[in-house]
């Protein structure tokens, strides 16, 4: 199997084959993504909440993100890898964003970066793409701005707001984004935006008209114990399976059924054993 390239993503887009994207946050989740043959793997800052238990994605630092990126890169050898620029590490200036992006490539071993925002990020995206670092855009519900948005709400619900989203998408496309995440947008709006672009859209809570889909891995696997957005489908119950497995482990430890004398235990040469008595 070959490593997924931008060219591969573009050929999927041209063939109208949805681009399967999932987040990962450590070595095992990277391996799972790889073995499930997702094409695009995002080290999203959502890991701040789902993998580290922070209350908000805005609490994670750049060094923490890079630590997780490296772990994912060791597990996900084939998907195209995108690292999420965390809050506070790219908004100050295009130069700051470029510095941070370079660290994602050199220290995080990512192939590309993602950042939140629309037309106001034009200069920033231009700066990063110009040096050859691919950028994934992200508009609609942008969680890093949840306070300004008064919560985690559907975006672009009026014609006026939908037009602004389209302008944002066109702006990001014009400065070289290779694709754009559309988060929490009514399906007709996301489908229309997708139809107006010549780059793929990756939807999350944006309906099936997008060029691809993304979910947060621990949400999709039922392994996050807090609030779950409406748009997330739970594809397996890893959380329940883990708890049940650990409960069984505790039970067997208490009853001394584990470890088993034959299966899990090292024996000793009888002659050697005699010397102990």
183 binds Na ion (CB under 5 A): no
CA dihedral of residues 192, 221, 142, 205 (deg, nearest 10):
20
Cβ proximity to Na ion, 192 vs 231, nearer residue? 231
* Chosen from Na ion, ligand KIV, none, partner binding at 185 (C-beta under 5 to 8 Å by type): none
Out of 116, 120, 123, 183, pick the active-site residue. 183
State the sign of the Cα–Cα–Cα–Cα dihedral 230, 234, 239, 244: positive
Interface characters, 74-93, with Na ion (x: CB under 5 A): ----------x---------
Cβ proximity to ligand KIV, 48 vs 189, nearer residue? 48
* Chosen from ligand KIV, Na ion, none, partner binding at 216 (C-beta under 5 to 8 Å by type): ligand KIV
Strands (E), 121-205: 135-140, 179-183, 201-204
Cβ proximity to ligand KIV, 82 vs 175, nearer residue? 82
**Which chain residues interact with ligand KIV by CB under 6 A?**
23, 42, 44-46, 84, 181, 183, 204, 214, 216
Cβ proximity to ligand KIV, 23 vs 101, nearer residue? 23
Instruction: Using the CB atoms, write b or e for 138-151: b if 16+ within 10 Å.
Output: bbbbbbbeeeeeee
Known active-site residue 120:
no
44 binds Na ion (CB under 5 A): yes
- Using DSSP bridges, classify how beta strands 40-43 and 80-84 pair: parallel, antiparallel or unpaired: parallel
45 binds Na ion (CB under 5 A): yes
What number of other Cβ atoms are within 10 A of residue 271's Cβ? 7
Taking the C-alpha atoms of residue 136 and residue 209, their distance in angstroms, rounded to an integer, is 18
* Shortest Å distance, C-beta 206 to ligand KIV: 10
Asked if residues 32 and 79 have their Cβ atoms less than 8 Å apart, the reply is: no
Active-site residues, by number, are 183
The residues binding Na ion (CB under 5 A) are 44-45, 84
């Amino acid at each position: 199997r070959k490593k997924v390239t931008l060219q591969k993503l573009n050929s999927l887009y041209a063939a109208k084959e949805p681009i399967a994207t999932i987040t990962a946050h450590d070595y095992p989740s990277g391996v799972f993504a790889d073995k499930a043959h997702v094409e695009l793997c995002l080290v999203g800052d959502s890991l701040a909440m789902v993998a580290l238990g922070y209350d908000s994605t805005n609490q994670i630092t750049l060094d923490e993100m890079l630590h997780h990126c490296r772990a994912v890169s060791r597990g996900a050898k084939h998907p195209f890898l995108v690292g999420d620029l965390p809050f506070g590490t790219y908004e100050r200036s295009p130069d700051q964003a470029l510095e941070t992006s370079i660290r994602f490539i050199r220290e995080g071993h990512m192939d590309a970066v993602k950042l939140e925002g629309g037309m106001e990020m034009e200069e920033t995206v231009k700066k990063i793409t110009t040096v050859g670092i691919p950028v994934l855009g992200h508009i609609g519900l942008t969680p890093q701005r949840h306070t300004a948005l008064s919560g985690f709400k559907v975006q672009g619900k009026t014609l006026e707001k939908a037009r602004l989203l389209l302008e944002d998408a066109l702006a990001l496309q014009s400065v070289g984004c290779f694709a754009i995440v559309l988060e929490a947008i009514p399906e007709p709006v996301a489908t229309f935006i997708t139809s107006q672009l010549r780059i793929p859209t990756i939807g999350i809570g944006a309906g099936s008209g997008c060029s691809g889909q993304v979910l947060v891995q621990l949400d999709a696997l039922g392994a996050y114990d807090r609030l779950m957005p409406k748009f997330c489908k739970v594809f397996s119950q890893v959380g329940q399976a883990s708890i049940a497995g650990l409960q069984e482990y505790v039970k067997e430890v208490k009853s001394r059924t584990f470890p088993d004398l034959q299966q899990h235990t090292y024996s000793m040469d009888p002659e050697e054993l005699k010397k102990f008595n």
